[in-house]
Structure 1
């Protein structure tokens, strides 16, 4: 397994930093060749080597191999006799309020259209109709792995990143929205060439023949299926017009001047409506508000298949939004970029009328909601444009907030959360999301304040209370000095509240409850692993087993099963990183990679794949830490390289936090050091260091007090490889930067002054080879001085 060493985890003893220095005088060393005299700090030399004090204590068999055991009862746990060695008092879980419903006063897309053409307006509900996959592979069970298995499952040749993106067409339908009929059903159609959807009327398509005697098409109505893009697409915005009239722009005076006076249609909603008999259409109705066109309805002479009509209007390649009635039958089709809507004949897929409106944010939001799971890039583009044309659209902000959290774009997510709270104050879901974002931004105290505001509300629902309690436990666990006993109490209360909800008739409630239960069980195991508890090696596997049982109870055909199993395996590896003796990481690494392969077949959206790859990389990173604690350095270089492959792939669209940049830089630094130490492959080492330095530059997490000395020594170590590949100016710059960090660490009493002897000696050698005798001699004398008179850190 891989050894993962973070700076902060090794600043335990000053003796660890003491570097063995040759007895030769540095003034003589300055004249020697760099390859023989430049040195690495001793802790750097130890990277990739097996520990001499490996863990020898045998853990119980149940702690080595995770097994499925009966789930925990909702009453007091059988393991409640475990006592923390601390005397912290337990904190009672407070209740929080029910979510506040924030509604928008602006009528929805369907409501406005219904008022235009139908006096009856019915309620609307958006439903996610993504069908279950036809077949799912059975989940691999963790098992003991032989050395051969370990190599095959962890070697870089097994990385799923080497496989090409699947070109298969998604097998599911796009979700449809239930809504009231947008248009009345007129009688016939003959030609639509007067409708302009491309902004250029010079090349109008030929009219299509009516097809009243042809059989009605029976294929489902669906938008063109476009391959999910890798980058955020640019929408082809081009509002449609009719005979030069544009909704939202053209005035009534312009219409009267061009078309003549129309016949009035009585309205009681504050708008004016007139119609014209314009051949070859049955009727053209125009609605005005404050003298400006708001909508143009064209009733066709005869029904036309919607696909043919879309081709004639040159909009067949656009993604659409389908509208359903209460019975689930398609009654409308919307083209958001053009502001075009088709009314469909009842029971068929033939258009009977066309409605032109100003570009409407609701249509973009509705389409985004239907595509969030199949194409995050398209959904983000739609939601961003909806906010662009309506900066107060609350639902657009909330959906985009959810996507930004999924993508790990935390700064953007925080801005959206704050705006959503401004638009819909008091909303509990937004408050939970904002707390989650603050936690990811390494602001646990601010996150706790946000959660406490929810906890203090009266009449909280059990579901919201369980979510808040789980998140409050994660916040406590993420603090610099966690109260592990309080953390366990918070997770236990979340489990108590979520357990009965896992059997709810509501699919959404069950899903949320399962997520809370899984994370609370894993969080409890992690708190026990990191804290000082009695009998932890016996108790931790029981919590892991219960978490595993939560996933095992979910139907293998449930589309959420794979994602929950991914959360499970990564959570167990986080526990192993805290207590390697209680959980053997290797079987869970094998299960993690198997799940990733399985999801590679079912997930086609490249953005979703990156999210999964980041999570897999974080799980492997925890496995590295578990291996380090066990003193296991086997296959270290290959395993670390595989971990970085997943993390780099997953980071392509993320906004990495300072802590994430620090940790990724640490891992890349170690890989470079291993290349330089094991194979003297300085050229490859430098390629890794070139990636490391930008991740550390101007990073407050790297240059903290306790990190300064270690960072300085890391720069000194990297400089040697740069020197060996003839990038000597870079080598000297890195060395001097490293010395600056180390000197500041010595001044703050965070590093032994004697540690500077290696850095000064290396600079003396470099300047000697550059022919700068004066600087070489100066650094050699400084090295000798700190070696002989340096004071130890007290």
Structure 2
């Protein structure tokens, strides 16, 4: 799953361009967007084939008109000011616009021009400055408004001459500056900086202080200005010749204060004087990456940056602040800080997002981010729940929807994942990055399907690569980072699909795809777009691909890469969740190496990798305790350790001990799916049964073999397993029943075993190299998969009961369709055949393709 996080050494990025403006984060020109650029050699165009998508079939995407990227700037209009006098309000009432929400009027900005450049004319849209500049109204004589009670004389003359009262001295105006001073800001924010609560200024706290309490504490404002058509108003308190405090009151409660400084002051020095330097800040940037302000989420404080001084951000000199803004705690500030955190700070990011959702459970952006971080640390079930919540809150956001599709895939809800990914592809307004991710997700889903659907997988990945390649050259931002991560993942996925088939030049072409992925990953790391986790992803993907190949190669070079990368990731990392995640990924790499050495018939090396994998996975298991996906991974590791002992060591007692552990962890309820086709699951059970039979656990052995045979029949019916593979479970069942004295049953299975061994012809199909791949695949330190060496897999020694010693293979018909270089190859979904139905000869249950 793609994470939009920057590397530890990369500069702060702005937030994703498709999220809504963070209302309340910045009193003025705040809009979160994306920006920077990187030239990279584009891959050759890959045009997706025409097809249709409907469960249970995955198809390739329809060709679409050129995509129009979603604009980064919102279209929002601010309400016009209320008129300064009653006469103006009466004559221009028909033209006044007060439709916008009061709070939005103070925090939003027009889409086309920055607030600082907007005209202050009363006929124009209001900006931050024009809203908070005092509209000083005369408090002397005024004309009575319509309907207002007035005293009228009965006559023009009176019979009595009134007595003259003694003159009273006029009341002296209040000196507000003595009550509200900004001349000495040292510690003026009256709150403990270690707590999560809005800061107070001279006894006024946003979200707590009422209007009455404000006036009691500070006196009458010099002027007020109504905002919108509700009860919102801005009270202006001039406190010095060059300073003032503007207060937004809504529903009779203070919502926001803006303190104008007499002179700009460096943000670091100002934060120290305010005693908020211990609060972790977050930079707020506009769509171009220019710094607008620095927020302190725990205190609801923001320092607005002086116009033209933002370029100092990131340099040795601190940018200067012109205003201090105090507001209620804002969920978006915490969410933004979580989004901009380095990838090795999941604990802090999750804490930020928990705080954001506590403040606003309906914040779709925070729900989406939470799904991404939880996916990273292995909490797949929780991630799916948060991703689903984000889509419910903002169903039009394609980026939220594709993350939901990815999390659905992670928890095994494949059919729903297909539907959600397809919605993104069909959405012509979706960002290119989201559509590319949807194509990649459909490729991963297609690899789980039957022969016809699986043949579409490489086409989907190629289409994703073509689209992501153009996004990866965009200016710096979340889209660009996501595109680079996707390019790596898609190249690795194509390599694995080629490894699962049977092709001439297979090893050479697989090495080119993996080498290309490695080169892309290293470029992304060096540029600062991605972190070392991408290098670990390449190592894991390469080892997983080698485990699919027969004959395969030595896993040693890639294990060395994984070991060195894990060590580098752990150096200086004090986040326990990230350390656990690194340990888990490192363990997955060793688990794949075990599978490779099992295939290469190197039992000692395989068991050594297995022992290391257990150690590393144990170190990262706690965050994944409730993950069914992690449970299945550990179960598969236990199975392969048992298989090595059974097949290569002929130690069935030791094998059964491992198989007992594997069965308890692999026996999980999978969601019903019309897409998913079992592959190795059946072979796994058949192999286990041999050891149980050897240890006189006859009933368990027969049950496992029958269940495994049925799953293998489903795989064969779906076209992903050759018919000759069925001879192993059928032959084993014949042997078992013969020894139990069930001669008739034994004869039936013997016949089935003979009939399932038709002659097969070798495949001469040639796999294709990746588009625009270099002559020598780029790799770090000169290391490429093509330099690995290994030996052919020798024929397994087969006892009277045969373990499954082969991987699931494609039929000859399927191989002729799975063209690695042509995404348009394979049968058209519109001409797909009707479902094939037949009964399992083993269990009698109906098998459907």
User: TM-score band (shorter)?
Assistant: 0.5 to 0.7
Shift of 1:430: 2.0
Which residue is 1:74 aligned to? 44
Mapped to 2, the partners of 1:670 and 1:749 lie a distance apart of 16
Find 1:338's aligned residue among 293, 299, 302: 299
Q: Secondary structure at the match of 1:584?
A: coil
Structure number with greater CO (CA < 8 Å, separation at least 6) is 1
Mapped to 2, the partners of 1:522 and 1:509 lie a distance apart of 20
Which residue is 1:391 aligned to? 361
Which residue is 1:536 aligned to? 506
Which residue is 2:441 aligned to? 471
Mapped to 2, the partners of 1:191 and 1:448 lie a distance apart of 57
Equivalent residues of 1:627, 1:633 under 8 A apart: yes
Shift of 1:413: 1.9
Mapped to 2, the partners of 1:441 and 1:108 lie a distance apart of 43
Q: Secondary structure at the match of 1:239?
A: coil
| Structure 1 unaligned blocks of 5 or more | 1-70, 78-88, 125-178, 200-234, 721-734, 752-782
Find 1:290's aligned residue among 251, 261, 275: 251
Mapped to 1, the partners of 2:219 and 2:58 lie a distance apart of 80
Shift of 1:385: 1.7
Which residue is 2:490 aligned to? 520
Equivalent residues of 1:448, 1:475 under 8 A apart: yes
Mapped to 2, the partners of 1:612 and 1:342 lie a distance apart of 37
Q: Secondary structure at the match of 1:625?
A: helix
1:693/1:93 CA distance change after superposition, 3 Å: closer
Shift of 1:633: 0.8
Mapped to 1, the partners of 2:457 and 2:662 lie a distance apart of 34
Does structure 1 residue 197 correspond to structure 2 residue 156?
Answer: no
Find 1:371's aligned residue among 330, 334, 341: 341
Which residue is 2:278 aligned to? 317
Shift of 1:664: 0.5
Does structure 1 residue 667 correspond to structure 2 residue 637?
Answer: yes
Equivalent residues of 1:319, 1:335 under 8 A apart: yes
Find 2:62's aligned residue among 86, 94, 105: 94
Find 1:584's aligned residue among 537, 554, 557: 554
Which residue is 1:252 aligned to? 211
1:739/1:190 CA distance change after superposition, 3 Å: farther
Mapped to 1, the partners of 2:260 and 2:288 lie a distance apart of 24
Find 1:648's aligned residue among 613, 618, 628: 618
Equivalent residues of 1:711, 1:741 under 8 A apart: no
TM-score when normalising by structure 1: 0.58
Cα deviations by residue, 1:457-486 (Å, 9 ceiling, x for unpaired): 447776555433322211111347674432
Q: Secondary structure at the match of 1:371?
A: coil
Which residue is 2:385 aligned to? 415
Cα deviations by residue, 1:293-345 (Å, 9 ceiling, x for unpaired): 11234567888876666556554322123457999897754322222334577
Which residue is 2:154 aligned to? none
Larger mean Cα displacement after TM superposition, 421-430 or 370-379: 370-379
Mapped to 2, the partners of 1:627 and 1:444 lie a distance apart of 31
Cα deviations by residue, 1:617-673 (Å, 9 ceiling, x for unpaired): 222222211211121112343321211233233333236542430231343577699
Does structure 1 residue 239 correspond to structure 2 residue 211?
Answer: no
1:98/1:391 CA distance change after superposition, 3 Å: farther
Mapped to 1, the partners of 2:670 and 2:474 lie a distance apart of 46
Does structure 1 residue 630 correspond to structure 2 residue 600?
Answer: yes
Shift of 1:265: 2.8
The 5 A counterparts of 1:260-275 are: 260-269=219-228, 271-275=232-236
Cα deviations by residue, 1:212-248 (Å, 9 ceiling, x for unpaired): xxxxxxxxxxxxxxxxxxxxxxx94223234544322
Equivalent residues of 1:189, 1:281 under 8 A apart: no
Which residue is 2:406 aligned to? 436
Q: Secondary structure at the match of 1:365?
A: helix
Which residue is 2:115 aligned to? 121
Mapped to 2, the partners of 1:595 and 1:585 lie a distance apart of 15
Which residue is 2:591 aligned to? 621
| Structure 2 unaligned blocks of 5 or more | 1-40, 48-56, 77-99, 119-127, 135-176, 310-317, 672-677, 711-735, 750-841, 843-849
Q: Secondary structure at the match of 2:115?
A: coil
Equivalent residues of 1:95, 1:457 under 8 A apart: no
Mapped to 1, the partners of 2:246 and 2:285 lie a distance apart of 24
Equivalent residues of 1:247, 1:293 under 8 A apart: yes
Equivalent residues of 1:109, 1:360 under 8 A apart: no
Shift of 1:411: 1.8
Mapped to 2, the partners of 1:104 and 1:391 lie a distance apart of 25
Does structure 1 residue 487 correspond to structure 2 residue 457?
Answer: yes
Equivalent residues of 1:444, 1:475 under 8 A apart: yes
1:712/1:276 CA distance change after superposition, 3 Å: farther
1:392/1:104 CA distance change after superposition, 3 Å: farther
1:627/1:785 CA distance change after superposition, 3 Å: closer
Q: Secondary structure at the match of 1:288?
A: strand
1:95/1:464 CA distance change after superposition, 3 Å: farther
Equivalent residues of 2:187, 2:275 under 8 A apart: no
Which residue is 1:155 aligned to? none
Mapped to 1, the partners of 2:385 and 2:519 lie a distance apart of 38
Shift of 1:576: 0.7
1:700/1:352 CA distance change after superposition, 3 Å: closer
Which residue is 1:427 aligned to? 397
1:495/1:749 CA distance change after superposition, 3 Å: closer
Mapped to 1, the partners of 2:665 and 2:460 lie a distance apart of 35
1:292/1:104 CA distance change after superposition, 3 Å: farther
Which residue is 1:404 aligned to? 374
Structure of larger gyration radius: 2
Shift of 1:358: 1.4
Cα deviations by residue, 1:3-53 (Å, 9 ceiling, x for unpaired): xxxxxxxxxxxxxxxxxxxxxxxxxxxxxxxxxxxxxxxxxxxxxxxxxxx
Equivalent residues of 2:247, 2:254 under 8 A apart: yes
Equivalent residues of 2:132, 2:236 under 8 A apart: no
Shift of 1:441: 1.4
Equivalent residues of 1:570, 1:619 under 8 A apart: yes
TM-score when normalising by structure 2: 0.55
Larger mean Cα displacement after TM superposition, 307-316 or 263-272: 307-316
Mapped to 2, the partners of 1:516 and 1:349 lie a distance apart of 36
The 5 A counterparts of 1:171-210 are: 189-190=183-184, 195-198=189-192
Greater fraction of residues in helix: 1
1:181/1:431 CA distance change after superposition, 3 Å: farther
Cα deviations by residue, 1:167-186 (Å, 9 ceiling, x for unpaired): xxxxxxxxxxxx99999999
Cα deviations by residue, 1:383-433 (Å, 9 ceiling, x for unpaired): 222222222323222322322232232222222222222222232222221
